Chains A and B, each alone.
Chain A
Amino acid sequence: MSINQRINQSLNQRIEEIRNDLLLFDDDLEKYEYIIDLGKQLEKLDTVHEKDENLVQGCTSKVWLVCEQNEKKLIFQANSNAKIVKGLVFILITVFSNLTPQEILHTDINILKQLNLTEIITPNRQSGVTGMLKRIKEYALAFDKKG
């Protein structure tokens, strides 16, 4: 399901659905193939956004993340120079896009546990995902302050 198709789902529904999709794979390698395929669904990020100020800290690969507000909801766009990370980025964007800043700020940041991704993401990569979640919250806070 694409990001747009999930617009009307609640946050918990989105997480539940992604979690169930990932549970279909017994084999880690197949799970990664699936994650790589998810990355292919990421909307193309305009290259003008691929600049240092949009880089997410803590990622072993490069991840650029930008955010804009549309009718009170935040829309995230991102890209990465690594295919597996692109898939992980797609998952996070699917979870957090089209939510209000307040909804994001009230979300438990420990999403990895809920998605069952901790077992397949290395400790090094987890800090990258944590960096992305932190950046998403920072965007939410900034837009929330703007009102």
Chain B
Amino acid sequence: MYKESFEYFENNNNVYLDNAATTQKPKQVLEIMHDYYTKYCANTHRSNYSTANKATTLFEESRIYLKDFINAKEKEEIIFTKGVTESINFIASSYVKDNFDTVIISSLEHHSNIVPWHMIGKSVDKGLCVVNCDENLNFDIKHFEDLLKKHPKSFVSLTHISNAFGKILPIKEIIAIAHKYDAVVMVDGAQTLAHISVDVQDLDVDFYALSSHKSFGPTGSGAIYIKEKYHRDIRPYQTGGATINDVTFERSILLDSPYRFEAGTQNIAGVLGFYEALKFIKSIGYDEIHKKEIELYLYLKKELHNIENVEFYNDITHSIGSLSFNIKGMNHEDVGILLDKQHVQVRCGHHCAQPIMKHLGIEGTIRVSIAFYNDKYDINKFIIALNKSIDILKD
């Protein structure tokens, strides 16, 4: 019934099960973006006429809404970005590069939380440590603590929910341990808001990266929460219009956060769309979202279990959203193409997480990723299409 809120489903009869890549966008999100471009399109934080003021007001309302949504203390702690990838690159270049000898990540990270560390000169044995996972891909807390004992005052950067396997890391416990060793923690929340609520004060997290487009909002927008005490230690890697208090040819004096970190014209329509997406999530409520997703996730796992030669890489305890598997003896890409030809859309490949795939000795998986608007009909159609694909690919 929730599909009615999404025009995508009016225009397509596809079974969309690639929500970890991006979610569909509800009508409200599209409407506010359309309104911005057709009724009050003007730049924010600059001009002082009516439409510009309206755009600026809504932009700042979005910031306050997001602040409340994740329970940040101050609106100045919310910095809009292009998304999680930009957020992580921003913190890597503007803060971690000059302040930390060691960065600690998990085995489940996607490339957005691996490559930026390589780019600032951290690699395994040269300032980058990777926490092990067990046979069910659970985060190895003991190994993590051992690394922190060896490298106190590290920068820890971890995914909250694995995009490839749906594993939820025990972030609150991890942050508490990290802080015991004076480490600073950034959480990659790309997959989070679509599935579970985030309370940055309760987590006591230092940095939290958020995605709009994986949370029912538009692409090209997102945000990073930065705990107030770090604002002065971050030297922004890009500056320019709207970041300054005063400029002469001799020097520039930057504004305070968040503006010092938001250089150039922002993705105004994207931020407003993100705002509406958050309101949409709130109108559904995380209790309802969680209830629906868990029911569907268990149903999916049960149905997949009935398929011969299916191989999983983790159990589904502490997991949500994504479920990855392979069919023994079959190439995941072949399966994906045949599913597509039957109008079932899943992602097949390494899911931008090649290191964990290599660790598991595979090149990729078939990943089904659900959102609360999916239903048993979607899963049934997927299972029928999967069986048909297997029949075609059998020797």
Interface residue ranges, A against B (CB under 8 Å): 28-29, 32-33, 36, 60-62, 81-85, 122, 125
Contacts and interface: CB of A to CB of B under 8 A. Distances in A.
B333 A85 contact: yes
Q: Name the 10 nearest CB pairs between A and B, nearest first.
A: A82-B331, A28-B341, A29-B341, A82-B334, A84-B334, A61-B333, A82-B333, A83-B334, A60-B333, A84-B337
A84 B339 CA distance: 13
Contacts of B349: 60
B344 to A, nearest CB: 12
Nearest to B389: A29
Contacts of B334: 36, 61, 82-85
A36 B333 contact: no
A129 B334 CA distance: 15
Given A29-B342, A29-B392, A36-B392, A81 B337 contact: no
A61 B342 CA distance: 21
A146 B176 CA distance: 66
A32 B392 contact: yes
A20 to B, nearest CB: 21
Contacts of A28: 341
Contacts of B338: 29, 32, 84
A28 B349 CA distance: 21
B298 interface: no
Contacts of B341: 28-29, 32
Contact of B331 (A32, A33, A83, A125): A83
Interface in B322-345: 331, 333-334, 337-338, 340-342
B337 A33 contact: no
A125 B393 CA distance: 18
Contacts of B337: 32, 84, 122, 125
B367 to A, nearest CB: 14
9 contacts: A29-B342, A29-B392, A32-B338, A32-B392, A60-B349, A61-B333, A82-B331, A84-B333, A84-B334
If over half of A's interface residues share one DSSP class (helix, strand or loop), that class is named, otherwise mixed; here it is helix
A147 to B, nearest CB: 39
Interface in B341-395: 341-342, 349, 363, 388, 392-393
A40 to B, nearest CB: 9
Contacts of B392: 29, 32-33, 36
Nearest to A121: B337
Contacts of B340: 122
B29 to A, nearest CB: 26
Contacts of B393: 36, 83
A36 B394 CA distance: 11
Interface in B13-68: none
B365 to A, nearest CB: 13
A28 B385 CA distance: 14
Nearest to A128: B333
A32 B331 CA distance: 15
Most buried by A among B334, B340, B393: B334
A123 B38 CA distance: 33
Contacts of B333: 60-61, 82, 84-85
A25 B342 CA distance: 15
Nearest to A83: B334
Most buried by A among B337, B340, B393: B337
B168 to A, nearest CB: 29
Contacts of B363: 62, 81
